Amino acid sequence: MAETGFEYWSYNSRTAQRHVLTYMEDAVSQLLENREDVSQYGIARFFTEYFNSVCQGTHILFREFSFIQATPHNRASFLRAFWRCFRTVGKNGDLLAAKEYHCLLQLLCPDFPLELTQKAARIVLMDDAMDCLMSFSDFLFAFQIQFYYSEFLESVAAIYQDLLTGKNPNTVIVPTSSSGQHRQRPASSETSALEGVEASLFYQYLENLCDRHKYSCPPPALVKEVLSNVQRLTFYGFLVALSKHHGINQALGALPDKGDLMHDPAMDEELERLMAQVPGLLTTTTSGTESGCPRTSPRLGSPWRPLHHSRKVDAESDGSTEETEESET
């Protein structure tokens, strides 16, 4: 896991460099917002700690959704933070509904949209009711595909729908980062959708889409590998295949392999160190699965947001955790 963590930070630090302007603008915005706090430490230290948090991936904690999805590095960092904070859900074998997973997501991003959580749940549940329970690993890998590649999947949905209805998908509307939240995707309950489309033809259009899509796409070679195993497939069948593909998970680089999903020695060591330092924390954190990480995670956040965000996060965390625990019982 140590090697995996190093590879993650090394890769995502390089991807973050492509969006330096985004982080400079955000850093200046936070500097102005917290100028009284910054004056005690100095601007140089502020920028040092801010960009250290960007490299470490902790800069996305408790931030607004527009910032969470602003860059591929932010999305990968959020996926990794969600896994690290709530892997105990999977470790304990708990099954949660979509709304409960959404509560966990809101502990890290208070305005995280419910619709995106529901879309991820649909990949797992397919034709089952949305209130059915899901394992942590199933939801996490489906959520990874839906969240990281959301704009790409909206274009894929448009291509699929055109092929399904016999149209020539020669024009693909590339959505903005926000329009994809409201677009209706193909309904898996439709009779025609159950028959699917021809995989080889589907790939031809997806290959062209990957070449000219300005948002993140899965590696075309791996998409081809997914589609080469079947003759026909449905839209959600394609999403399920993407979410379960080992190579695509490795290429994205945010999450460990499924076999290592419940192991994070670095986080375990950090939590043990924190519990040893804070009186009374040990008994509190061992009493529930969600109480450990969210209550200690504000320490890992952006260094200049704790004064006015920690109280807000604690209040939201208490409410969301109680709702989840009640639904579990």
Residue 280, pLDDT score: 60
In a domain, 242, yes or no: no
Please give the model's pTM, rounded to 2 decimal places: 0.74
pLDDT at 36 over 80: yes
Rg of the chain, C-alpha, whole Å: 21
Nearest to 216 by CA among 124, 160, 162, 144: 144
Residue 126, pLDDT score: 87
Tell me which residue range forms the domain holding 125.
17-134
Nearest to 267 by CA among 245, 283, 285: 285
* Nearby residues of 123 by Cβ (< 8 Å), 6 or more positions away: 142, 145, 146, 236, 239, 240, 243
In a domain, 271, yes or no: no
Highest mean pLDDT among 15-19, 233-237, 274-278, 286-290: 233-237
In a domain, 257, yes or no: no
> Could you identify the residue written with the tokens 């969210």?
294
In a domain, 60, yes or no: yes
CB 83 within 8 A of CB 89: no
- Integer angstrom CA distances of residue 56 from 34, 82, 298: 21, 14, 14
Please write the tens of the pLDDT for every residue from 80-130.
Answer: 999 999 998 888 889 999 999 999 999 999 999 999 999 999 999 987 788
In a domain, 119, yes or no: yes
Nearest to 169 by CA among 199, 215, 202, 217: 202
Q: At 47, which helix (H) or strand (E)?
A: helix 43-56
In a domain, 57, yes or no: yes
pLDDT at 282 over 90: no
In a domain, 199, yes or no: no
Query: How many structural domains compose the chain?
Result: 1
CB 98 within 8 A of CB 118: yes
Q: How confident is the model at residue 159 (pLDDT cuts 50, 70, 90)?
A: very high
